[in-house]
Amino acid sequence: MLRRNTAPAVAPDSLPRPTMPQRRRVFFISDRTGLTVEALGSSLLTQFADVEFVRTTRPFIDTVEKAREVIAEVNESNHELGTRPLVFSSIVDDAVREEIRKADGQVLDVFERFIVPLEAELGVKSTHAVGKSHSAGNAKDYNHRIEAINYTLSHDDGVTHRQLDEADIILVGVSRSGKTPTCLYMAMQFGIKAANYPLIPEDLEANRLPPSLLPHKHKVWGLSIAPDRLHQIRKERRPDSKYAALENCRYEVSAAEKLMRQTDIPFLDSTTKSIEEIATHMLHEAHLVRRVY
């Protein structure tokens, strides 16, 4: 069988510059969920803005037979588009990885590229057993995550003042500034108990924190957002409302920021950030101790 992917790569400068935008199929293949290799590959592909990538993920490829099926798919896409697919893979089992390597595409196997230098550095052989990642099977981690998710769900949007002493962090901000997704992400990913409280017009007029938060002020953090982005977000939910009006968004954001400054609540602008970025910033700036790795 031809193994084109193991042929020496041609240096970029010796290739003709493409005049049409390139299209490439990309496969993410994993013996587990594929989430890590997908995240890795996607972050690398953002470096090639002029190429159009068409993505396919094939998780749980843990036998030679399944590997052969995926390879057939990869090779077919090769014939269709006329360009070699990219194959990001993460396969622990040697026989399965050997099979994937035969694909008629550029195979970039994460396991292969990192495990050899790690073995050398640590002076031990790796187990080469398909392991558990994502806290799977680890009952303690699972319990921490579930406990944090339950806590966060029952302390969303200021629904209760009870058990706030258990919170690791309490987020405040105007409605739709990103509190709920940030809290859920922190609970899910880090096992952090994250409560959130909206800053409602009464709080803004009185220029004070919701009174039930005062005993917990040391763990209150704020989110802010650009008024025009807030206007866009609110408009989708309640078009033509005073709530969504740009003027009102401007007022609320400005009053909330004033309140947070005066009460010494540090806050972060969520406007151009992803949920992951906001959650990571909060984790590190508030020096929270994560319960799950």
**By C-beta, is 35 or 286 nearer to a second copy?**
35
What tokens appear for 230 in the block? 């807030």
Which H/E stretch holds residue 122?
A: helix 110-122
CB of 283: closest distance to a second copy in angstroms? Answer: 9
**By C-beta, is 130 or 245 nearer to a second copy?**
130
**Interface map 131-150 toward a second copy (x if CB under 8 A):** xxxxxxx-x--xx-xx--xx
Cβ atoms of 99 and 72 closer than 8 Å: no
Q: Are strands 220-224 and 86-90 parallel, antiparallel or unpaired?
A: unpaired
**Which 39-98 residues touch a second copy, going by CB under 8 A?**
39-40, 42-44, 46-51, 55, 57, 59-60, 84, 86, 90, 92
User: Which residues have CB under 8 Å from 205's CB, separation 6+?
Assistant: 255
What tokens appear for 101 in the block? 């390597």
Q: At 271, phi and psi to the nearest 5? A: -50, -50
Is residue 17 involved in binding a second copy (CB under 8 A)? yes
Which residue's entry shows tokens 């949920």?
275
**By C-beta, is 208 or 281 nearer to a second copy?**
281
Q: How far apart are the C-alpha atoms of 245 and 99, rounded to whole Å?
A: 58
Alpha carbon separation from 32 to 134, 142, 199, 273 (Å, rounded): 10, 17, 42, 29
CB of 6: closest distance to a second copy in angstroms? Answer: 12
Cβ atoms of 171 and 265 closer than 8 Å: no
**Interface map 21-40 toward a second copy (x if CB under 8 A):** -x-x-------xxxxx-xxx
CB of 113: closest distance to a second copy in angstroms? Answer: 6
**Which 256-275 residues touch a second copy, going by CB under 8 A?**
272-275
**Per CB under 8 A, which region of 13-21, 73-81, 217-225, 246-254 contacts a second copy?**
13-21
Is residue 165 involved in binding a second copy (CB under 8 A)? no
CB of 202: closest distance to a second copy in angstroms? Answer: 24
CB of 290: closest distance to a second copy in angstroms? Answer: 9
**Which 187-246 residues touch a second copy, going by CB under 8 A?**
188-189, 232-233, 236
Binds a second copy (CB under 8 A): choice among 1, 20, 122, 289: 122
**By C-beta, is 128 or 258 nearer to a second copy?**
128
Q: How far apart are the C-alpha atoms of 196 and 278, rounded to whole Å?
A: 14
What tokens appear for 42 in the block? 């996607």
Cβ atoms of 43 and 71 closer than 8 Å: no
